[in-house]
Amino acid sequence: MSLLSNMGFSNETLNAIRALGITSNDPLRLGPASTTFSNLVGRETYSALYFRKLVTDPSIRGNGLKVIVGGPGAW
């Protein structure tokens, strides 16, 4: 089951979507606060982890969906 399906989106809805807008503050954990945090605790930040899960989700990657990333972290 895909991440978007787990969030309540039906297969019919997922098949009808042509573009998906995503906003994130620091998806690659390159900001100073994220870098410090991840170095202190020795793991990836949640924003980076879940951003990667979202953009690699089969329901997004497998149907030609256009992904538009915006927000402060979309350098």
Could you tell me the residue ranges of all domains in the chain? Answer: 3-70
The predicted structure's pLDDT at residue 50: 82
* pTM higher than 0.85: no
CA–CA dist 10, 12 (Å, integer): 5
Residue 14 near residue 4 (C-beta atoms within 8 A): yes
The predicted structure's pLDDT at residue 75: 58
Whole-angstrom CA distances from 43 to 11, 20, 47, 49 are 33, 28, 12, 10
What are 5-53's pLDDT values in tens digits? 788 888 788 778 788 888 877 777 677 777 787 778 888 887 788 888 8
Q: Which two tokens stand for residue 51?
A: 């951003």
